[in-house]
Amino acid sequence: MSKKLESLKDLYIHELKDIYSAEKQITKALPKLIKAVNSKELKAGFQEHLEQTKKQITRLDTIFARLSENSSGPKCKGMEGLLEEGKDFSKEEAAPAVLDAGLIVGAQKVEHYEIAAYGSLCTFAGLLGYQEDLDLLKQSIEEEEATDKKLTQLSETLNQDAEEMVTTGSKKSGSRK
Ligand code: FE
Ligand code: FE
């Protein structure tokens, strides 16, 4: 157990360490998921988000430096679990488009975790009057939200492809139920 949490600032730092651990884990997991992906577009999307994730870590480094705090803390177990599920899913025997659609589900769960974390951090930074932190955190949450939206769009296309495969080549894409 780390030291007692007595103030909003303590909680802010606690949560910063949590998302820092989460982001680090994501940069380790994404390259393996990129290999598992079939769709070129999804691969490119994951690759782009890997680069964004590295920038997000740099932003957090800036915040920790400003607060004169260490970035290391307990491993984010929430992200560990989400990434473990994604990894397990990537090993399933699945039709290519179905596998991709499932990997998107996992990725969106990850993005939603991050959006929740950065949302709270933005609130805390605002309350604490840390304007520079808030500017950085806002950039990151905007990237996570944009990624989530992009994944939804990709999922619509890929799921359509997956459905067309089962309807044995018939190009009836309007018959989704
Ligand atoms: Fe992130
Ligand atoms: Fe993300």
Q: In the predicted model, is pLDDT for residue 176 greater than 60?
A: no
- Of residues 27 and 177, which shows the higher confidence score? 27
Q: Average pLDDT, whole number, for the chain? A: 92
* Token code pair at residue 153: 């769009």
Give the number of domains in the chain: 1
Question: Does a structural domain hold residue 172?
Answer: no
177, part of any domain: no
Q: Examine residue 95 and state whether it is found in any structural domain, yes or no.
A: yes
Q: Which amino acid is at 176?
A: R
- CATH of residue 108: 1.20.1260.10
Are 169 and 89 in contact by the 8 Å Cβ rule? The answer is no
User: Would the pTM of this model clear 0.75, i.e. be above it?
Assistant: yes
Asked whether residue 2 is assigned to any structural domain, the reply reads no
Distance between CA 91 and CA 160 in Å, rounded? Answer: 22
**How far is ligand 1, taken at its centre, from the CA of residue 27, in Å?**
9
For residue 152, give Cα distances in angstroms to 18, 45, 110.
26, 12, 13
- Please tell me the distance between residue 126's alpha carbon and the centre of ligand 1 in angstroms: 20
What band does 122 get if pLDDT is binned at 50, 70 and 90?
very high
CA 89 – ligand 1 centroid, Å: 21
Q: Is residue 144 part of a domain?
A: yes
Residue range 39-93, pLDDT digits in tens: 999 999 999 999 999 999 999 999 999 999 999 999 999 999 999 999 999 999 9
Please report the pLDDT score of residue 102 as a whole number: 95
Cβ atoms of 115 and 127 within 8 Å: the answer is no
What is the per-residue DSSP string for 85-141?
A: HHHHHHTS---HHHHHHHHHHHHHHHHHHHHHHHHHHHHHHHHHT-HHHHHHHHHHH
Nearest ligand to the C-alpha atom of residue 20: 1
Helix 96-128 with 8-36: angle, nearest 10 deg: 160
Q: Could you tell me the distance, in angstroms and rounded to a whole number, from the CA of residue 148 to the centre of ligand 1?
A: 11
Q: Is 3 a domain residue?
A: no
Task: Give Cα 64 to chain centroid, integer Å.
Answer: 21
Q: 66: domain range?
A: 8-167
Is residue 26 in a domain? yes
> Where do runs of H (alpha helix) occur along 3-95?
8-36, 40-67, 77-90
Asked whether residue 96 carries a pLDDT value surpassing 70, the answer given is yes
Q: Find the Cα–Cα–Cα–Cα dihedral 110, 154, 59, 8, rounded to 10°.
A: -40
- Say whether pLDDT at 155 is over 50: yes
Question: Which ligand does the CA of 107 lie closest to?
Answer: 2
Q: What is the distance in A from the centroid of ligand 2 to the CA of 147?
A: 7
Residue 152 placed within a domain: yes
